[in-house]
Amino acid sequence: MNSFFARKYIIQGIFIAVAIIIAARLFYLQLVDNSYLLSANNNVLRKVVIYPARGVILDRKGQVLVQNEPVYDLLVTPREVQELDTALLCELIGIDRAGFEKRMTTARNYSPYKASQFEKQIPASAYARLQEHLYKFRGFYVQNRTVRNYPDSAAAQFLGYIQEVNDRDIERSNGFYRPGDYIGASGVESAYEELLRGQRGVKNVMVDAFNRPQGVFAEGKYDTVAVAGDELISSLDKEIQVLAEKLMKNKIGSVVAIEPSTGEILAFVSSPGYDPNMMVGRERGNNYMELLYNPYKPMFIRPIQAQYPPGSIFKVVSALTAQQAGMIDEHTVFNCPGGYRYGGGRAIMRCTHVDGPTSLVKSIQRSCNTYYGYTYARMIDQRNMPSTKAYGAWREAIMKFGIGQSLGIDLPGEKDGLLPTADFYTKRYGNDRWGSGFNISLSIGQGEMGVTPLQMANIMAIVANRGFYYRPHLIKGIGERKIVKPEFAEKVFAGVDEKYYEPVIEGLSRAVNVAGGTGYSVRIADIEMCGKTGTAQNPHGADHAVFFAFAPRENPKIALAVVVENAGYGGTWAGPIASMLVEKYLKDTITLPQYIQDRIYKADLLPKVETERRETVQAGKPKHSTPARHHADEIAFVDHQSRARRNE
């Protein structure tokens, strides 16, 4: 004990003071400030998103059009990787040494502790072998996902495809999508995205500081399950679809078949198509570019995007609307001297025949241009109103048949077609004193008119129904309860009373079933098919062949339009295709002579084009110097006067 004994208390005081400071700080951290508790929970919990299976799409008979196939992504956590047999791994997943190094570097740059994708979409076949050896590769994991799979490789443009979301998709979805998600980009995949995608689930996983999963949080109390996307039942008949695609092989064009009583689309072919499986898997990027630069434009959805001057099918609409307007009736006869003279007799619109007196039924049966020249003249010039107004009334009646406006099919990208307004002609001729002679080609569906194959088929459905249609659609049932969208259950009246249809249908029937008719060669025994060949004029090259029909006459089951581009006369190519499809659908057999069938299957009607951007696209095809100039989306604007001159 010495004189500085009292300092003991000071030192003890310092000890106590420091202990109190520490205690006070702990009091604040543990009892006052709650933010640390929240941080601790955030630290530990990671929300892992569970991806739902995308909805399956079936055909009308329940057969699978699109399903999900498991694929396997190989993930790597670089920090956990130990010495491994690089050569073996490379061989198993089909990459080379340099590719291995590149992938490792990418993964390491992303994060040494977090798993990132090493190789994506390893097919199940390669996975089986990889899995056997996986235990040798520490730090590598396999995560399974599903990708789309198309068992029949059919209906590509109808089904569409999915792709990874881009920034715009993410922004528009208000954060629903995250980078790496897939979204329907075209076709049904896009139109029904919200139903197909299903609902994501969340799993709360506890992780450590290196983000390594350590187990399920609270026995999964806060987890939500992923809900698979809705199953869609399409209206498509797979058999007819596959047959139609086969028939349209090596031809450019479309087939659209509709069940008239429901508006359900039975076949939807855009040719040339592509194998939808190309848009899946590791080669997707390359395949996509190839399709994009393919001169035959396989990504172009012709049934709803290609627009053609409709040709003969329009006479059906003319006949019906003129009757409804009271300008002709079933007894009206016009004399056909082999052409319709107009413009004071200076111009002529020729027929392929000289039939003399022609009745309404015969005009349809024989496809008489003269008859419809007169009819159009009456509709525009003789209605006791200015021709612009008469044209307006005419146009309105035509539009009721679905021409010049989109039909509202459940696919993105449908085109309206083209049906100019009266103002268009007033502007073109500088005044409103124009008359039927100024755009007479409209009377027979040529000139400034663009109709999509879907619209053509729909016109046939209207005729088959004698006056109405249901909006054509591709999905007839959604989910387990097979819900139909209300807009597709609604009857749309085409503006012409039922009684006016009989002569037109009679004419269509005769065109097929009476010797000498344009469709006689493709008639079907036991089935009264009503139809007609048509020729859609193509100012750029050979005309497009069209055949449209419905069958049977009473209680029709199918209405369809077949367009084969650059095929010339409709009866040769489009007719047999339509006939075979109708017979197959109605009787499940084809009786058309084998040689005609063979001719169709074997025909290569692809125009010879120079492959401009990519050499490899059609490697086997002989290259020709004729440039590609017949894109169907270019509507044929043909000045009617120059046409008239040509016809003289």
Give the nearer residue to other proteins in terms of CB position, either 18 or 128: 18
Residues in CB range of 403: below 8 A, 6 or more apart:
310, 317, 417, 419, 449, 451, 455, 459
Rounded to whole angstroms, the Cα distance separating 261 from 265 reads 11
Strands in 544-551's sheet, in edge-to-edge order, are 264-271, 253-259, 558-564, 544-551, 530-536
- Binders of other proteins among residues 508 to 527 (CB under 8 A) are none
Residue that the structure tokens 């009787």 belong to: 587
Residue that the structure tokens 């047959």 belong to: 243
CB of 217 to other proteins, least distance (A): 9
* Other Cβ atoms within 10 Å of 23 Cβ, number: 10
CB of 475 to other proteins, least distance (A): 48
Give the nearer residue to other proteins in terms of CB position, either 5 or 135: 5
CB of 223 to other proteins, least distance (A): 17
CB of 25 to other proteins, least distance (A): 5
CB of 105 to other proteins, least distance (A): 22
Q: How far is CA 345 from the centre of its chain?
A: 47
Give the nearer residue to other proteins in terms of CB position, either 16 or 128: 16
CB of 42 to other proteins, least distance (A): 9
Give the nearer residue to other proteins in terms of CB position, either 28 or 429: 28
CB of 48 to other proteins, least distance (A): 15
Rounded to whole angstroms, the Cα distance separating 118 from 104 reads 7
Residues in CB range of 500: below 8 A, 6 or more apart:
320, 323, 324, 330
- Binders of other proteins among residues 2 to 61 (CB under 8 A) are 2-5, 7-8, 10-12, 14-16, 18-19, 21-23, 25-27, 29-31, 33, 35-37, 39-41, 43-44
Give the nearer residue to other proteins in terms of CB position, either 19 or 124: 19
Give the nearer residue to other proteins in terms of CB position, either 116 or 406: 116
Secondary structure class of 473 (helix, strand, coil): strand
Give the nearer residue to other proteins in terms of CB position, either 116 or 641: 116
Secondary structure class of 223 (helix, strand, coil): coil
Rounded to whole angstroms, the Cα distance separating 562 from 268 reads 10
Give the nearer residue to other proteins in terms of CB position, either 40 or 48: 40
CB of 204 to other proteins, least distance (A): 12
CB of 120 to other proteins, least distance (A): 28
CB of 140 to other proteins, least distance (A): 20
Give the nearer residue to other proteins in terms of CB position, either 42 or 594: 42
Number of residues counted as binding other proteins (CB under 8 A)? 40
CB of 618 to other proteins, least distance (A): 54
Give the nearer residue to other proteins in terms of CB position, either 29 or 385: 29
Give the nearer residue to other proteins in terms of CB position, either 26 or 354: 26
CB of 49 to other proteins, least distance (A): 21
Residue that the structure tokens 């609409």 belong to: 317
Q: Strand locations in 188-338, DSSP E?
A: 201-207, 213-216, 232-234, 253-259, 264-271, 334-336
CB of 411 to other proteins, least distance (A): 49
Q: Cis link prior to 272 (omega < 30° from 0)?
A: yes
State the burial class of residue 354 (Cβ atoms within 10 Å of its Cβ: 0-12, 13-18, 19+): exposed
Rounded to whole angstroms, the Cα distance separating 242 from 240 reads 6
Give the nearer residue to other proteins in terms of CB position, either 51 or 110: 110
Residue that the structure tokens 């698979």 belong to: 228
- Binders of other proteins among residues 194 to 233 (CB under 8 A) are 206-210, 214-215
Question: Distances from the Cα of 328 to the Cαs of 321, 332, 340, 378, 382, in angstroms?
Answer: 9, 6, 17, 8, 12
Give the nearer residue to other proteins in terms of CB position, either 33 or 283: 33
Q: How far is CA 79 from the centre of its chain?
A: 46
Beta bridge partners of 45: 206
State the burial class of residue 256 (Cβ atoms within 10 Å of its Cβ: 0-12, 13-18, 19+): buried
Give the nearer residue to other proteins in terms of CB position, either 13 or 70: 13
CB of 19 to other proteins, least distance (A): 4
- Binders of other proteins among residues 528 to 547 (CB under 8 A) are none
DSSP string, 135-196: GGSTTEEEEEEEEEE-TT---HHHH--EEE--HHHHHHTTT-S-TT-EEE-SHHHHHTHHHH
CB 481 within 8 A of CB 334: no
Phi/psi at 142 (nearest 5 deg)? -115, 135
Annotate each residue in 157-196 with x if it binds other proteins (CB under 8 A) or - if it does not, as one string: ----------------------------------------
CB burial readout 482-497, b (16+ within 10 A) else e: eebbeebeeebebbbe
Rounded to whole angstroms, the Cα distance separating 225 from 217 reads 14
CB 358 within 8 A of CB 334: yes
Note the residues at the interface with other proteins (CB under 8 A). Answer: 1-5, 7-8, 10-12, 14-16, 18-19, 21-23, 25-27, 29-31, 33, 35-37, 39-41, 43-44, 206-210, 214-215
